[in-house]
Structure 1
Amino acid sequence: MRTEQARVERIDFYILASAKPQAAELFACRLAEKAYAQDHRIFIRTRSRAQAESLDELLWTFRQSSFLPHGLVGGEDEPILLGDTVPAEVTHDLLINLSDELPPHWERFRRLAEVVEPEPALLAQARERFRFYRRHGYQPISHNLGSRS
């Protein structure tokens, strides 16, 4: 059961249809764009610093008409932050997890979005996280994106 300190209102798992290079990153860009338009502050957790830097570039170029103010952890406090670690002082309300691990400080976010690539090992790790959240009193929602990613 959830503790009184927990703030999480919703946990979504997005199962991508494609394991193509940058499929997860492109989906994260689209999700961040939608969330930013709804006045969310977003933290995107990546697998590595290199992935965070790549995503930093991709957020500027994934769509010509898009402008998403963002930056890397350790820089300015932007509405969208990227990093392979989640600092305890982050106050964003949506966590987009591109990592294959349970994000640290996950319970401090109002919403979690787990982006899962359709590879057997990554799907198995995502199932473990799904079960973890259920054991802690949450009801994650799974979205099989079919050919949309």
Structure 2
Amino acid sequence: MARADFYLIGKPRFREQPLLLVCELARRAVHSGQPLLVLAASMAQAEALDDLMWSFDPDEFLPHQVAGVEEDEDEVEVLIAPPEQSPPMRALVLNLRDAPVPAGFERVLEVVPADESARGPLRERWKHYQSLGLDLAKHDM
């Protein structure tokens, strides 16, 4: 059964730089051997995430790239897709966009902002995934 995991930003380092949480979740995916598709909200966000993944952990490289830049996208473990790119869906998807992820995944990860006033769209996505019958889980980060 498909599953949706919501990660609530709590720790100060994630509050200051929410994309660090995305890097942490990407590292977990790589360690578990699951190719990850990150749906970025904009090209600027995709590029910022690309830059951050280079410096995230000085002792470990996260294999990643932005979709549409190089040919071998199917091979890379973490593929970051700006809205203008539509790479094939992967089993594991991390969603940074405003809309819920369409079908085709086994597990979707959603990052919930620390700011309570910005959580409305995430509540809507929770209800959406719930209505599809997905297993839902919440994690405090």
Name the TM-score class by shorter chain. 0.7 to 0.9
Identity %, equivalent residues: 31
Alignment of 1:67 onto 2:61 = yes
Task: Name the structure 1 match of 2:120.
Answer: 124
Moved over 3 A (4+): 18-21
1:23-62 aligned at under 5 Å gives the runs 23=18, 25-62=19-56
Aligned-partner Cα distance in 1 for 2:3–2:52: 27
* CA displacement at 1:91 relative to structure 2: 4.3
**Cα offsets for 1:102-126 (capped at 9, x unmatched):** 23x3x21111100111223431110
Aligned-partner Cα distance in 2 for 1:47–1:121: 19
Task: Name the structure 1 match of 2:137.
Answer: 141
* Number of equivalenced pairs: 134
Task: Name the structure 1 match of 2:99.
Answer: 101
Aligned-partner Cα distance in 1 for 2:108–2:89: 14
Aligned-partner Cα distance in 1 for 2:89–2:98: 22
SS at match of 1:33: helix
Q: 2:96 corresponds to which letter in structure 1?
A: L
Aligned-partner Cα distance in 2 for 1:28–1:123: 17
Residue from 101, 104, 108 that aligns with 1:112: 108
Gaps of 5+ in 1: 1-7
Residue from 17, 20, 23 that aligns with 2:15: 20
The answer (yes or no) to whether the contact 1:40–1:92 under 8 Å persists in 2 is: no
TM-score, length-normalised on structure 2?
A: 0.85
The answer (yes or no) to whether the contact 2:4–2:107 under 8 Å persists in 1 is: yes
